[in-house]
Amino acid sequence: MIGHFVGPYRFLSNFFPAEIELDGEIYPTVEAAFQARKTLDPDERAKIRVAKTPGVAKRLGRRVKLVPDWEKIKITVMTDLVRQKFTRHRALAAELLATWDQKLVEGNTWRDHFWGVCDGYGLNWLGKILMKVRDELRK
């Protein structure tokens, strides 16, 4: 099992630099694109796109006016962006495939029990998405 996306597995993190296209604009990371996708406001999206770090992009995304039904679509949005990361960047795809069948768990200390696992519990949606994309790449 890979339990944290750090060190040699940092590439699995949404904060890892890998350009992503969203609605004709290029974002530096999956995290930035995901946060921008939360809103339809072009000014809010632009601020997120040019944020100095993925952490800043994440903080900006917490303050945007959400698109309707965000809670219903966020897993699909994340899946599409993560898929793009690994289909657009072949070297990253090779690294993902090199994890073979290891369980991927986005272990964290910031209490994210939806996308990852903290204190031994969580839904680990990011890990599930990464394993799904890995299976798709194999085919």
Name, in order, each residue with C-beta under 8 angstroms of 33's C-beta and a sequence gap of 6 or more.
Answer: 20, 21, 22, 27, 81
CA 34-63-88 angle, to 5 degrees, is 10
Q: Is 18 left (phi over 0), alpha (psi -120 to 50) or beta?
A: beta
Q: Tell me the domain boundaries of the chain.
A: 7-138
User: pLDDT by residue (tens digit) across 21-57?
Assistant: 999 999 999 999 999 999 999 999 999 999 999 999 9
d(CA 2, CA 29): 21
CATH code of the region 7-138: 1.10.357.40
Global pTM? 0.97
Q: What is the pLDDT of residues 53-88, one digit of tens each?
A: 999 999 999 999 999 999 999 999 999 999 999 999
